[in-house]
Structure 1
Amino acid sequence: MKPVSRRTLDWIYSVLLLAVVLLSWGYVIYASTVAAQRQLRKEYPDKIFG
């Protein structure tokens, strides 16, 4: 296995960091929408929220 260049390693680390950031933001957005739906159901139990 030949050695990997520094530029390639930097690119791989950048892509991995971007993936982690995007996944974490996706989780934050998903969790906040779930919490908002629960809160709405608690405050307005007779309404239907899709």
Structure 2
Amino acid sequence: MKPVSRRTLDWIYSVLLLAIVLISWGYVIYASTVAARRQLRKKYPDRIFGTSENL
């Protein structure tokens, strides 16, 4: 197997780190919206929040 240059390894590590950061932020945003919907549903049970859950 041909050796990989340092620049290529740095690029691969940077792409992997960016992917991990984007996935973790996506999870944080998703979890916070789920928690907010749950709190709104507790506080206002007679209202409809979101469309996909109440079809």
Q: Give the SS at the match of 1:49.
A: coil
- State the partner residue of 2:12: 12
The offset of 1:36, in angstroms, is 0.1
Q: Give the SS at the match of 2:2.
A: coil
Which aligned segments of 4 or more residues in structure 1 are displaced greater than 2 angstroms?
Answer: none
Question: Which has the larger helix fraction?
Answer: 1
- Give the TM-score normalised by the residue count of structure 2: 0.90
Aligned-pair Cα RMSD in Å: 0.3
The offset of 1:21, in angstroms, is 0.3
Mind listing any 5+ residue stretches in structure 1 that lack a counterpart? none
- Give the TM-score normalised by the residue count of structure 1: 0.98
C-alpha distance in 1, partners of 2:48/2:22?
31
* Greater relative contact order structure (CA < 8 Å, 6+ sep): 1
Per-residue CA deviations over 1:1-50 (Å, capped at 9, x if unaligned) read 10000000000000000000000000000000000000000000000111
